């Protein structure tokens, strides 16, 4: 049931344009006639309304995201149904997601990637403090505003201890295989540490332009996450500093108990580097300094 331009939803949201669509939803720009501001309206795709799993995932996103209020998380203002079809009214994001940014630019300078990661770990720590595990942290779900602020969105497969749903408690392996932690791929329940792993993979991708395991099939990628050594970012970025490498390697340890215990710890290490720009530079060895090696 596509919206026509000019449609008024719930007596409040006047549709002004169709923005696009994803796997689960059609997205429209609308004007909130009460607050006089632009919002994005997500409408579950018509062919999914009768699919109970996708319907509940859509409703799950609305319920969980609406409970969060953080500057680095896409804000959900309202949700409801129109003609029996669920919709979500959320913050209108002007800008690209980080996947689109990477597709265009290849990779990002360390200082820019660091700013985004500090914001991302802030968002994750806030969500985790509210007993919510995102489960789908990746560049596709991180939106960049024109002022450099990032917003974490797409909470469709998130889990919440305070919102009881057998959908959110499932051990089914869902998410994007390039960012899934070894324990998730072994069928374990999602945790703070699995979000931290995905954030570590995201950091790796932002500065190198590559995902860690570029295999020919999802199965081989999954096996690599479980068995293969996590590659150093120096594989693609030879001048990557030791401190940045250490942060990525700690976030992506195979054993979740060896990763950062919290997103706040991850955030603090990132902030330490931001305070000391010299730590972003590769330190040359004694011989390199003497003989001028690059």
Give 3-state DSSP helix, strand, coil % of the chain, rounded to 5. 45, 20, 40
Return d(Cα 202, Cα 196) in angstroms, integer: 10
Neighbours of 276 (CB within 10 A): 10
d(CA 228, CA 151): 32
In the block, residue with structure tokens 């931001």: 274
What are the C-alpha distances in Å from 194 to residues 89, 94, 180, 285?
Answer: 29, 29, 7, 36
For residue 55, what are its two tokens? 């319907």
Which DSSP letter does residue 33 get? T
Cα–Cα dist 74/144, whole Å: 11
Closest C-alpha to 64, from 72, 51, 73, 53:
73
Q: Which residues belong to the active site?
A: 136
Taking the C-alpha atoms of residue 201 and residue 181, their distance in angstroms, rounded to an integer, is: 9
């Amino acid at each position: 049931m596509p919206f026509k331009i000019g449609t008024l939803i719930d007596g409040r949201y006047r549709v002004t344009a169709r923005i696009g669509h994803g796997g689960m939803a059609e997205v429209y720009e609308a004007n909130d006639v009460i607050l006089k501001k632009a919002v994005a309206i997500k409408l579950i795709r018509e062919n999914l309304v009768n699919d109970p799993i996708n319907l509940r995932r859509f409703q799950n996103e609305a319920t969980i995201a609406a409970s969060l209020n953080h500057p680095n998380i896409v804000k959900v203002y309202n949700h409801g149904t129109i003609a029996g079809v669920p919709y979500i009214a959320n913050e209108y994001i002007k800008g690209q997601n980080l996947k689109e940014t990477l597709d265009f630019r290849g990779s990002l300078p360390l200082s820019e990637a660091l700013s985004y990661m500090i914001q991302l770990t802030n968002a994750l720590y806030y969500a985790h403090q509210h007993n919510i595990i995102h489960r789908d942290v990746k560049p596709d779900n991180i939106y960049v505003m024109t002022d450099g602020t990032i917003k974490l969105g797409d909470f469709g497969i998130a889990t919440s201890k305070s919102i009881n749903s057998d959908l959110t408690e499932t051990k089914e392996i869902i998410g994007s295989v390039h960012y899934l932690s070894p324990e998730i791929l072994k069928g374990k329940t999602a945790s703070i540490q699995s979000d931290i792993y995905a954030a570590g993979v995201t950091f790796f991708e932002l500065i190198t332009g590559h995902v860690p395991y570029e295999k020919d099939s999802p199965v081989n990628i999954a096996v690599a996450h479980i068995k293969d050594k996590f590659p150093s970012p120096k594989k693609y970025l030879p001048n990557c500093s030791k401190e940045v490498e250490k942060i990525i390697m700690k976030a992506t340890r195979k054993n979740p108990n060896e990763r950062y215990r919290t997103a706040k710890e991850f955030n603090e290490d990132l902030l330490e580097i931001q305070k000391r720009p010299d730590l972003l530079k590769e330190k040359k060895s004694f011989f390199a300094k003497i003989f001028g090696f690059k």
